[in-house]
Amino acid sequence: MKAVICPFCGVAGEVSHQTQQACIDALQAEIARTRRILESVTEPLPAASIGEDPDPQVT
Ligand SMILES: [Zn+2]
């Protein structure tokens, strides 16, 4: 699959966009795609526990 980076909006696509509307559509699609990726990979970040780690007793 050949990808072209649109010089106007920077979104990779099959072709560079010929109209502003095409760029807007591509950007919105890119945002939606990125959101789905972020939602699927979201992991709870470890809380900053410097100096207050409960340190459970492991036996
Ligand atoms: Zn574009």
Q: How many domains does the chain have?
A: 1
Query: 10 alpha carbon to ligand 1 midpoint, in Å?
Result: 6
Per-residue pLDDT, 29: 95
Cβ pair 20, 11 in contact under 8 A: no
Residue 21 lies in a domain: yes
Residue 29 lies in a domain: yes
Residue 31 lies in a domain: yes
Query: 18 alpha carbon to ligand 1 midpoint, in Å?
Result: 7
Q: How far apart are CA 45 and CA 54, in angstroms?
A: 17
Query: 14 alpha carbon to ligand 1 midpoint, in Å?
Result: 11
Domain that holds residue 28: 4-39
Per-residue pLDDT, 49: 62
Residue 17 lies in a domain: yes
Per-residue pLDDT, 2: 80
Query: 30 alpha carbon to ligand 1 midpoint, in Å?
Result: 11
pTM of the full structure: 0.59
Residue-wise pLDDT tens digits, 2-55: 889 999 999 988 889 999 999 999 999 999 999 999 998 877 767 766 666 667
Residue 56 lies in a domain: no
Per-residue pLDDT, 13: 85
